[in-house]
Amino acid sequence: MTALLEVEALRKCYGDKVVLRDIDLTVLPHDVICLIGASGSGKSTLLRCLNLLEPIDDGTIRFEGREVSDPLVDPRDVRRGIGMVFQAYNLFPHLDVLDNCTLAPVKVHGMDRAEARERARERLGHFGLADKASAHPDSLSGGQQQRVALVRALCTNPTLLLLDEITAALDPELVGEVLDSVRAEAEAGMTMILATHEMAFAREVATSVCFLDQGRILEQGAPGEIFSAPREDRTREFLRRVLPAG
Amino acid sequence: MSDWSPSARQLEREQVAVRLRRRRGLTATVVTVAFLGLLVLGVTSSPGWPRVRETFLSWPDAKASFPAIRDGFWVNVRMFLLAEPVILLIGVLVAVTRHTISPWLAPLRVLAVAYTDLLRGVPTLLVVVLFALGIPALNLQGLTTSFFWLTSAALVLSYGAYVAEVVRSGIESIHPSQLASAEALALSRAQSMRYVILPQALRRVVPPLMNDFVSLQKDTALVSAVGVTEALYAAQDYGNFNFNYTPLLVTAAFFVVVTVPLARFTDWLSARARRRERGGS
């Protein structure tokens, strides 16, 4: 199978501070890659580099066979195929839920407005949000907002989904509903890269887990390997801190 | 819920609350009346008061000058009704232009910066006079020499610069994460501005914008400096002829009658927008 996304020797700095170095990552279709690691290890920055929200300082990113880190590539062309969900939801507060979900399909993908609304309603229904279509984001709970953000990202039919710690800002009892939605997408075959602190979830849905430490992918492997028999001391140390004892 | 009846303690508390509220209301009324009474007393007992009453508060003069001022005020109203939409348009265009990044628009960006710097720096009265006297002096074919249009243009340009800065501050107050998520959805820079940033920015700047518009309504009186017969000009004309300045207060009343309801109306508008976004549905 040909890779959907290939990252080679990616480097990213903020001023003198190197936040990502020598990142190599290959993502095949239907992969679910979980990025784990302490806060500040570079998980979010890596995701933002992949859809060109952040300029990179070295290395290459290839998406669907094309080098997208080429400055002559229009970032918009790349982002049309990549959905992203942020930790803080980032819904558009002046638009209702349905308009949030149809803005990009209509304005970017040229979809017919009525059709876009129809599809968005359908998706909202799948995610248990059918009755929220005309609500404004600020009147929803955090879990509902994050599910709307997920629907918004999916409405453009992306081939790759980037999820940036999407449950980190939620109350514990709301985490489950969002993860259920993500799990359903993973099972439906969506290719995803997600930064997460939910280790149990990563273990369950990931096809591959990357442990990031100080801007490097220190260790990558199947969830069984990483969580049961980590190779690196630092991985072991990190897992000991975040996993419940036992 | 239905089987609840307030306890004796709660009833007692409510009684005390009512008593306290009454006492506060009474205190506020007494203090306000006393304060206003003293103010009126202070003014009316000043040595020049009889003279002031005669020249500024003459009912016959108010009545006599009213029609001319009313007709003049119509000029002010037309001027700001005409100017406000154009100002808003210029303000938004200039503010958005300053936030473009395309190299093709570089000359427009320079122009936008120069425009706001210059027009905010020069007193509005001076712009009005320069336009009214300077532009006809150019002897350009086909250009109006009507003082009404020339001074309106001066007000538009002067206020456009202020409004542009207000809109720009609104644009800059929108959190960068909004732009990030618009860009992540592959919206172009222009689309992000048009559909995501600007609508939020404009909502946020409605109060300061209205402040500028109220200010503009008053500043339409500046055009009296070049002899456009609006309300203030009519009042001064009457005053100079009859040695009575009551018409000035009549004019003030005209302006107040328009600006105060407008301010309340905009308060109501922004409160409604807030309710819609926060409250639900």
* pLDDT cut 90: percent of chain A above it: 87
How much is the pLDDT for A206? 94
The shortest C-alpha distance from A133 to chain B (Å) reads: 9
Q: Do B185 and A156 touch (CB under 8 A)?
A: yes
Q: State the pLDDT confidence band at A243, using cuts at 50, 70 and 90.
A: confident
- Residues in chain B within 8 Å Cβ distance of A100: none
The shortest C-alpha distance from A65 to chain B (Å) reads: 19
- C-alpha to C-alpha distances, B47 to B35, B214, B231, B243, B244, nearest whole angstrom: 21, 35, 31, 20, 19
Rounded Cα–Cα distance for residues B100 and B105 (Å): 7
The shortest C-alpha distance from B45 to chain A (Å) reads: 56
Question: B134 - beta bridge partners?
Answer: none
Can you state the angle between helices B59-98 and B106-121, rounded to 10 degrees?
150
Residue A178 has pLDDT above 50, yes or no: yes
- Residues in chain B within 8 Å Cβ distance of A82: 184
Q: Do A79 and B185 touch (CB under 8 A)?
A: yes
How much is the pLDDT for A173? 86
How much is the pLDDT for B228? 86
Q: Do A79 and B183 touch (CB under 8 A)?
A: yes
The shortest C-alpha distance from B207 to chain A (Å) reads: 17
Nearest chain A Cα to B189, which residue?
A: A76
Rounded to whole angstroms, the maximal C-alpha distance in chain A is 55
Rounded Cα–Cα distance for residues A77 and B96 (Å): 24
Query: Looking at the complex, does the CB of residue A169 fall below 8 Å from at least one CB of chain B?
Result: no
Residue A138 has pLDDT above 70, yes or no: yes
In the block, tokens 């406000």 appear at B84
SS3 A87: coil
pTM of the predicted structure, to 2 decimals: 0.84
One DSSP character per residue, chain B reads -TT----HHHHHHHHHHHHHHHHHHHHHHHHHHHHHHHHHHHHHTSTTHHHHHHHH--HHHHHHHHHHHHHHHHHHHHHHHHHHHHHHHHHHHHHHHHT---GGGHHHHHHHHHHHHHHHHS-HHHHHHHHHHHHHHTT-TT----HHHHHHHHHHHHHHHHHHHHHHHHHHHS-HHHHHHHHHTT--HHHIIIIIIHHHHHHHTHHHHHHHHHHHHHHGGGGGGGT--SHHHHHHHHHHHHT--HHHHHHHHHHHHHHHHHHHHHHHHHHHHHHHHHH--
Q: List residues of B whose CB lies inside 8 A of any A CB.
A: 177-178, 180-188, 191, 195-196, 199-200, 203, 276-281
Query: Looking at the complex, does the CB of residue A87 fall below 8 Å from at least one CB of chain B?
Result: no
- Facing residue for B177 by CB, picked from A83, A90, A152: A90
Beta strands A216-221; A208-213: pairing state: antiparallel
- C-alpha to C-alpha distances, B15 to A140, B6, B19, B25, B28, nearest whole angstrom: 39, 12, 6, 16, 20
Asked if A64 contacts A4 with a C-beta cutoff of 8 angstroms, the reply is: yes
Residue A1 has pLDDT above 80, yes or no: no
Per-residue pLDDT of chain B (281 residues; tens, 9 = 90+): 578 988 999 999 999 999 999 999 999 999 999 999 999 999 999 998 988 888 888 888 889 889 999 999 999 999 999 999 999 999 999 999 999 989 999 999 999 999 999 999 999 999 999 999 888 888 887 777 788 999 999 999 999 999 999 999 999 999 999 999 999 999 999 999 999 999 999 988 988 888 888 889 889 999 988 888 889 988 888 888 888 888 999 999 999 998 888 888 888 877 887 777 765 44
How much is the pLDDT for B260? 87
- DSSP state letter for A244: P
Q: Do B188 and A51 touch (CB under 8 A)?
A: no
Asked if B181 contacts A87 with a C-beta cutoff of 8 angstroms, the reply is: no
Rounded Cα–Cα distance for residues A53 and B107 (Å): 27
The shortest C-alpha distance from A49 to chain B (Å) reads: 11
Q: Do A103 and B195 touch (CB under 8 A)?
A: yes
Query: Looking at the complex, does the CB of residue A132 fall below 8 Å from at least one CB of chain B?
Result: no
How much is the pLDDT for B265? 85
Quote the ipTM score.
0.90
**Tokens matching residue B28:** 């506020």
Contacts of B156 (CB under 8 A, 6+ apart): B83, B86, B87, B90
The shortest C-alpha distance from B208 to chain A (Å) reads: 19
Mean pLDDT on A26-31 = 95
Closest listed residue to residue A84, CA positions, set B181, B178, B195: B181
* pLDDT cut 70: percent of chain A above it: 99
Closest listed residue to residue A120, CA positions, set A135, A130, A110: A130
Query: Looking at the complex, does the CB of residue A131 fall below 8 Å from at least one CB of chain B?
Result: no
Residues in chain A: 246
Quick: pLDDT tens for A195-208.
999 998 999 999 99
- Facing residue for A135 by CB, picked from B187, B199, B281: B281
Number of CB atoms found within 10 A of residue B4's CB: 6
Determine which of A97-101, A134-138, B210-214 has the lowest per-residue pLDDT on average: B210-214
In the block, tokens 């602190």 appear at A197
Beta strands A17-27; A66-67: pairing state: unpaired
Nearest chain A Cα to B190, which residue?
A: A107
A232 Ramachandran zone, left/alpha/beta (phi>0; psi -120 to 50): beta
- Residues in chain A within 8 Å Cβ distance of B179: none
The shortest C-alpha distance from A241 to chain B (Å) reads: 31
> Mutation test of the interface with chain A: which of B101, B102, B179, B185, choosing the one with the most A Cβ atoms within 10 A?
B185
> Mutation test of the interface with chain A: which of B171, B181, B205, B281, choosing the one with the most A Cβ atoms within 10 A?
B181
How much is the pLDDT for A245? 59
Mean pLDDT on A39-62 = 94
Rounded Cα–Cα distance for residues A31 and A186 (Å): 8
**Tokens matching residue B85:** 């939409």
Residue A166 has pLDDT above 80, yes or no: yes
